[in-house]
Structure 1
Amino acid sequence: MKRTLVALLACASLPALAGSPAVAVAPSPAAHAASGLLPGAAYAPQRAERHHTPDPVRAAQAPDAPVEEPLHLEDVPRSETERGARAASCSGSTGPFQRQAERYLRRAVDGLQSEADCRAIRRFQRAHRIAPASGFAGPVTGAMLRLMRAQKDPNRDGHCPERRERTVCVDLDRQLLWVQQGRRVVFEPVAIRSGQPTNETRTGTYRIYLRKRAHTSNLYHTPMPFAQFFDRGEALHGVYDDIYQGLGSHGCVNLGWRDASRLWGALRHGDVVHVWGRRPSG
């Protein structure tokens, strides 16, 4: 009974203001200033700024209602966010994930942006709905590259136990989740957003003890579609905004709405959830 009560007061993504129905907030201006990067909203003002934060009650009552997939808004150099910057221009700046992009795209790995590098990175960004697709290898592009590299063998380092029973693998280091049974991956890796620094997702091995397809957090008043609780109120659940934005959750493991919907169908009460690592800072 106590465990169920805790679950009903469960975590959700960090709201912008107390009592606000917003699912998550973007990183603070100070955080962006420290990195020298800013959200590239100037390139996609009509689509990238449209956050999917529906009315919590309506969203909780109809978690299966069609949801438009949000764009993944990349952070870019301040000079590229200035008014007049053109979406058609190719970034000449070397991003923090330049080498990773070059390696994945089979370019010469020199860590320096070139016109050919930019064109290749732009194609990758367009294919994965990253805006602006300017060719700048920023943190969102880096996260997508990490996700793509994990597709073939997500458990290459052996951090997730290979059990006979279905196991949800939650990799906080890489901000990824997949499901495996023995050595076979039965649900491919997807991006997640775990707890913010002051509310880190707890590590360990658990079991799903409560599933609520339509749930609203009583504590934060935010929708938690396809919620699957595994530890004292911490749950796997969907969000309506861009999974790559925001400070993080209050401890839950956030998934994009579509991924959370598919995961709901792949799991059952009693399935194992194994969590390890620590969310990278910044």
Structure 2
Amino acid sequence: MANGDESEQIRELQARLKQLKLMSVAPTGFYGSKTTAAVKTFQSGHGLPATGSVDAATWKSVQGGSRKPTEAELRPPTTIEVDTPDPRCMQGRVMCISKESRTLAWMIDGKIVSSFDVRFGSENTPTREGEFKVEWKAKDWTSTIYHTPMPYSMFFSQGQAVHYSSDFAARGYSGASHGCVNVRDKGKLAALFDQVTVGDKVVVYW
């Protein structure tokens, strides 16, 4: 396992590193800079070469120092507390997206079914606020403007979409989107993608 990889084994690694107080963010399954740094710290403290990559000896040592993660540890609801839903989110099927708390809550009839950490566009390419509908979906999509992968895209406003971002998974909030709503947990977003239908409401608010 090394920087740039993505797998369920990495999600387990991250959950174990979190048990060991070496990571503070929720597992994403994507091996980015934070995972690399945590692995280096672990290796330095256990007499292993501090490469930042996980070889057989490192994995065995991590397993020996931690317990098998629970499902809740592997896929926590969100690393950020969900904001109080906007009143427009309280009826029907809604992706309720708060810029204040940087969260997306998938809600059905006023109840939160699942929640996600999200990030938004920069000052130059802001994410639009307001009430929208899911116009169309694409499981495998590449931006026609920026030529970057946008898996599990759910478009809601003139090219802006909720989608998975490997950059968000790796860099967190040190980056920004080009206006889309980025999600960093690919597995959870895949499940949401299957639930959301064209015509479902999208509310983006402060």
Pick from 214, 219, 224 the counterpart of residue 150 of structure 2.
Answer: 224
1:270 pairs with 2:199: yes
Residue 169 of structure 1 corresponds to 96
Distance 1:268 1:275 in 2: 18
Q: 1:162 to 1:202 in 2, by over 3 A?
A: closer
Paired letter, 1:274: V
Residue 260 of structure 1 corresponds to 189
Q: 1:87 to 1:67 in 2, by over 3 A?
A: closer
Pick from 159, 178, 182 the counterpart of residue 109 of structure 2.
Answer: 182
Give the superposition deviation at 1:240.
2.6
* Runs (5+) with no aligned partner, structure 1: 1-45, 54-64, 90-122, 130-143, 278-282
SS in 1 for 2:124: helix
1:233 pairs with 2:162: no
Q: 1:176 to 1:72 in 2, by over 3 A?
A: farther
Give the count of matched residue pairs: 159
Distance 1:67 1:220 in 2: 30
What does the per-residue CA deviation read over 1:72-100, in whole Å, with 9 as the maximum and x for residues that have no partner?
6449xxxx9xx9997439xxxxxxxxxxx
TM-score (norm 2): 0.63
Distance 2:4 2:111 in 1: 36
1:207 pairs with 2:164: no
Distance 1:147 1:222 in 2: 25
Give the superposition deviation at 1:245.
5.0
Residue 6 of structure 1 corresponds to none
Residue 51 of structure 1 corresponds to 4
Residue 124 of structure 2 corresponds to 198
Residue 248 of structure 1 corresponds to 176
SS in 2 for 1:254: strand
What does the per-residue CA deviation read over 1:203-233, in whole Å, with 9 as the maximum and x for residues that have no partner?
1110001111221111111111111100011
Q: 1:149 to 1:210 in 2, by over 3 A?
A: closer
Give the superposition deviation at 1:259.
2.8
Distance 1:261 1:85 in 2: 31
Give the superposition deviation at 1:167.
0.6
* Runs (5+) with no aligned partner, structure 2: 11-28, 47-65
Give the superposition deviation at 1:239.
2.0
What does the per-residue CA deviation read over 1:96-140, in whole Å, with 9 as the maximum and x for residues that have no partner?
xxxxxxxxxxxxxxxxxxxxxxxxxxx9xx9979xxxxxxxxxxx
SS in 1 for 2:191: helix
Greater mean alpha carbon deviation, residues 168-177 or residues 238-247: 238-247
1:1-282 alignment, distance < 5 Å: 47=2, 50-51=3-4, 69-71=29-31, 73-74=33-34, 87-88=44-45, 147-148=78-79, 150=81, 154-155=82-83, 157-186=84-113, 188-243=114-169, 244=172, 246-256=174-184, 257-277=186-206
Confirm or deny: 8 A CA contact 1:160 1:274 kept in the other structure: no
Paired letter, 1:88: G
Larger RCO (alpha carbons 8 Å, 6+ apart)? 1
